[in-house]
C-alpha cells in the first residue's frame, strides 16, 4: 500500500458547544475531503503555539501544508493597527500558521493557501492586506458573498471570473484553461502589498489579486477563492488538488526514497 502524502491542515479555535464544555479545535470537512479525494492524508494540527518543539516535530512529518480559510489575520502580523472593519481573529492560529508557512517555504515543502490561506502566505513572507476590500479598495465588485438569509448564495456559487497568467503554476494546475475561470468568493480582505518572492498570477475583474505563487518553489500557491467547495462539480478544481498532492508525493520520495511508497 502506498504511503499517502501527509498534508498539514491547521485547525481553528471553536467556541464551547455549551455550558461547561471546554473550547475545541476544528476545521471544515471539505478541506479534508478535497485532500483525501486527491490522494493525500489530512494531518490535523492543533492551533497551539505554546510548544514550539512539538510544532516542529509535527512539521517534520509533513509532506505538504494546506492553509485553509477562516477568520481575519490580526493586522499586528503585518505591522498595522487594527481597523474597526476587521472581524474576528484567532491569534493562536495566526502564530501557528505563520511559523509553519515560513518553515515550509524555507525548506521546500509544497503549500496550498486557500482564501485566508493565500493572505496568510503573503503576510508570512512580509506582505500586507486590505483590512476591508469594499472600503479600502473596490466598492463596485462584491467579494463578500457568503451564504445568508438575505441572499441566494451558496458556498459553491460562482460569483465572478478570474483572469490567469498563461504558463503560471496555477494555470497549469487547473489544466490550462483557455478562458477566464469562474470562481466563488467569500472574503472581505485581500492582498494589498505583495510579499517579496511572490508573483500575482490571477486577478478579479476589478484587479484584486486572486492567485499568487512563489517564484523559487515547485509548488507554493495561493488562491483567493474556495476550491474545496467546487471539486464535486468542476474538474479544474480537482486538478488543482491533484497537482498539489503530486508535489507533496515528490517531496516524500525525495526524502524517503522508495520507502515512501510503502505503507507507514
- Report the alpha-carbon distance of residue 43 to residue 63 in Å, rounded: 10
- Complete DSSP assignment for 154-188: -TT---EEEEE-TTSHHHHHTT--SSPEEE--B-S
In sequence order, the β-bridge partners of residue 182 are 161
Q: Report the catalytic residues.
A: 115, 226, 228
The strand ranges marked E within the chain are: 6-10, 12-14, 24-26, 41-45, 64-67, 111-114, 129-130, 160-164, 181-183, 190-191, 198-203, 209-214, 220-223
Amino acid at each position: 500500500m502506498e504511503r499517502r502524502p501527509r498534508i498539514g491542515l491547521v485547525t481553528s479555535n471553536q467556541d464551547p458547544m455549551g455550558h461547561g464544555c471546554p473550547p475545541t479545535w476544528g476545521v471544515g470537512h471539505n478541506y479534508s475531503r478535497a485532500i483525501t479525494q486527491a490522494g493525500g492524508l489530512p494531518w490535523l494540527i492543533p492551533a497551539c503555539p505554546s510548544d514550539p518543539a512539538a510544532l516542529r516535530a509535527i512539521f517534520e512529518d509533513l509532506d505538504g501544508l494546506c492553509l485553509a480559510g477562516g477568520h481575519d489575520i490580526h493586522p499586528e502580523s503585518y505591522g498595522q493597527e487594527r481597523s474597526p472593519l476587521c472581524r474576528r481573529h484567532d491569534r493562536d492560529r495566526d502564530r501557528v500558521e505563520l511559523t509553519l508557512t515560513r518553515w515550509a517555504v524555507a525548506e521546500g515543502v509544497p503549500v496550498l493557501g486557500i482564501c485566508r490561506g493565500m493572505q496568510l502566505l503573503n503576510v508570512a513572507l512580509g506582505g500586507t492586506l486590505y483590512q476591508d476590500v469594499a472600503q479600502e479598495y473596490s466598492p463596485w465588485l462584491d467579494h463578500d458573498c457568503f451564504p445568508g438569509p438575505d441572499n441566494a448564495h451558496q458556498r459553491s456559487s460562482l460569483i465572478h471570473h478570474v483572469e490567469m497568467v498563461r504558463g503560471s503554476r496555477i494555470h497549469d494546475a487547473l489544466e490550462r484553461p483557455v478562458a477566464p475561470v469562474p470562481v466563488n468568493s467569500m472574503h472581505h480582505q485581500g492582498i494589498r502589498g505583495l510579499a517579496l518572492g511572490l508573483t500575482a498570477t490571477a486577478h478579479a475583474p476589478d484587479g484584486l489579486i486572486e492567485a499568487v505563487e512563489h517564484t523559487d518553489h515547485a509548488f507554493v500557491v495561493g488562491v483567493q477563492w474556495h476550491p474545496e467547495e467546487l471539486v464535486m462539480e468542476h474538474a479544474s478544481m480537482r486538478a488543482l488538488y491533484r497537482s498539489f498532492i503530486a508535489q507533496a508525493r515528490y517531496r516524500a520520495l525525495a526524502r524517503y526514497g522508495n520507502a515512501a511508497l510503502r505503507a507507514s
